[in-house]
Amino acid sequence: MCKAFILLFFPLLLCGQVRDVPLVMYATGPIDYEGGTPGTSVSVYTGTYLTGQGALSLGEDATLEAVSGDRFVRLSEPGRYPISELFEQEPKSDGFIDRFINFVRRGLDQSASTEDLEHAYQENQGNISGLGDAGLSGLLPFGGSLFPVITTFTWPEDDAATSYRLRVVDSLTEAVVLTATARDTSVQLDLAGLYLQDDRRYYWEVFPNAAPSNTPSRLGAQAPAVAGTRIYFTFRTRDRSEVLAPVTELSIYRGTASEAQRRLLEAMALEEADYLYAADRAYRDGLAQEPDNPVIRRAYAAFLSRWNQRSRARTMIQLR
């Protein structure tokens, strides 16, 4: 039997249709929820599921935003709001909010435990191109499509390296588009200034340049080969604003008081369009706005795990 209760920050296990259970995407100020038991109430926070047929009570200076069944509602006036009437007057979207709810709940499911993070990666393995022995850990961008903008390429540190050599290569012809040398573990490249063709696949790789060794080597021994991890991506001339235009016109995007929620909406749209680097930036920007927002933090952890950034994913949610 289903019980009327609230699960804070954890995936919801309910009988029936989970998609219709209201999920609080943003909450600030004094907000209580009476879940059906007379005389009892609990505080409501960002990430709370509102189960049962209770009522919300908003105090002064409180704001609540919730989604359910392809609808979005924002409350900012003090008062009591029965859950059964919360979404009655709100128009349905064209399906985007429904997709957004599923996206958020998938993120909560995939980041519920270390095992769930691993499972999220295993489910997505076939979509990851460019894996080497070191995997994709610490590498950015880690695939997908890239816009013609300034892009920061990042890789793990090599203790023996004095500098690094980065190459961008046409995956079809093996023609080297760019070679750059960096002393640090990152370099910024303006992709708009490179001779990259629209809808064409490339890969980037990094080679550590080690300092000469004074240790004698065995006569006839060959120097160890330095192998980079190839990370494939597709270059597209499409502007970022074109990808996000449908999202920025939605009532949930324009109506929310949370910049982190706007970044989360953008991250979903960007990942759906395969712009993984841009999606990663959207998550980071959202967390910069609201570092303690559990919804975007958990969604980001799931995103990282799907794309084999599992150590970072575990750090994001601080699982033990």
- pLDDT beyond 50 at 219: no
pLDDT digits (tens, 9 = 90+) for 43-78: 999 988 888 788 999 999 999 999 988 889 999 999
Q: Return the pLDDT at 137.
A: 66
Q: Return the pLDDT at 115.
A: 87
Where in the chain do CATH 2.60.40.10 domains reside?
Answer: 94-212+225-320
Please count the CA atoms within 13 angstroms of the CA of 176 that sit on its side-chain side: 8
- pLDDT beyond 60 at 207: yes
Lowest mean pLDDT among 137-151, 201-215, 229-243, 250-264: 201-215
Mean pLDDT of 277-289: 96
Q: Return the pLDDT at 128.
A: 56
Q: Return the pLDDT at 72.
A: 92
Mean pLDDT of 127-135: 47
pTM score of the predicted model:
0.82
Q: What is the DSSP letter of 317?
A: H
Q: Return the pLDDT at 138.
A: 74
Q: Return the pLDDT at 230.
A: 84
The pair of structure tokens assigned to 273 is 């369009």
Mean pLDDT of 237-246: 92
Q: Return the pLDDT at 217.
A: 41
Report residue 224's pLDDT band, with 50, 70 and 90 as the boundaries: very low
pLDDT digits (tens, 9 = 90+) for 83-105: 888 888 888 777 888 899 899 99
Q: Return the pLDDT at 119.
A: 87
Highest mean pLDDT among 133-142, 215-224, 252-261: 252-261
Q: Return the pLDDT at 143.
A: 86
Only one residue has tokens 């080597």, namely 217
Mean pLDDT of 14-24: 62
Q: Return the pLDDT at 21.
A: 86
Arch. (CATH architecture) of 94-212+225-320: Sandwich (2.60)
Distance (Å, rounded) from C-alpha 23 to C-alpha 66?
5
Mean pLDDT of 154-170: 89
Bridge pairing between strands 55-58 and 42-43: unpaired
CA angle 110, 112, 116 (to 5 degrees): 50
Are 35 and 62 spatial neighbours (Cβ–Cβ below 8 Å)?
no
In 3-state terms, what secondary structure has residue 128?
coil
Report residue 319's pLDDT band, with 50, 70 and 90 as the boundaries: very low
Lowest mean pLDDT among 9-23, 154-168, 197-211: 9-23
Average pLDDT, the chain: 83
Beta bridge partners of 66: 24, 73
Distance (Å, rounded) from C-alpha 278 to C-alpha 238?
13
Mean pLDDT of 254-259: 92
Report residue 16's pLDDT band, with 50, 70 and 90 as the boundaries: very low
Q: Return the pLDDT at 11.
A: 35
**Nearest partner of 71 among 52, 55, 48, 88, judged by Cα:** 88
CA angle 186, 283, 204 (to 5 degrees): 35
Q: Return the pLDDT at 94.
A: 76
CA angle 140, 145, 150 (to 5 degrees): 60
Mean pLDDT of 223-250: 81
